[in-house]
Amino acid sequence: MSTIQLSPVRLSTLPTTRGELRLTRRGRLVVFLLGLAVVLGIGLVLAAGSVATPEPGAAEPTTVVTVGTGDTLWEIAADASEDGQVRSMISRIERLNGLDSTVLVAGQQLRVPTE
């Protein structure tokens, strides 16, 4: 049978590190991720307040038109234009809806100015 022998350990022989902070690899990762989370949180808060709004008086009255099968932007602009200026109405519709081209898709909803 074996015996276990216990020997006392003096506390004064243990290494002490006063004023020195050493981070492990995992500790550095945690500090980095916490910092990143704080920066992203601040960015989201600041981005939420930067919503673009139209200038006062710049909003014009509009109506929503749902594009049907075979409808073209020219036809929609011609129906909306009372003075026969179809090209200028197309430009206004493109600007209001942020269109890059005159290609429309059935079911698409467009804001059309009411004159």
50, part of any domain: no
Pick from 26, 100, 111, 3: nearest CA to 67: 111
Q: Could you tell me the CATH number of the domain that includes residue 86?
A: 3.10.350.10
28, part of any domain: no
Containing domain of residue 94, as a range?
62-113
Q: What is the pLDDT along the chain (115 residues), one digit of tens a residue?
A: 677 777 776 655 555 556 677 889 999 999 999 999 999 999 998 887 766 655 554 567 889 999 999 999 999 999 988 888 899 999 999 998 988 888 899 999 999 998 6
What radius of gyration, in Å, describes the C-alpha atoms of the chain?
Answer: 34
pLDDT of residue 46: 86
5, part of any domain: no
pTM of the model: 0.49
pLDDT of residue 11: 59
Q: Could you give the number of structural domains in the chain?
A: 1
25, part of any domain: no
48, part of any domain: no
69, part of any domain: yes
79, part of any domain: yes
17 is written with which tokens? 């590190």
pLDDT of residue 84: 83
Instruction: Give the DSSP letter string of 64-98.
Output: EEEPPTT--HHHHHHHH-SSS-HHHHHHHHHHHHT
Residue 113 near residue 67, CB atoms below 8 Å: no
40-68, pLDDT tens digit by residue? 999 998 887 766 655 554 567 889 999 99
83, part of any domain: yes
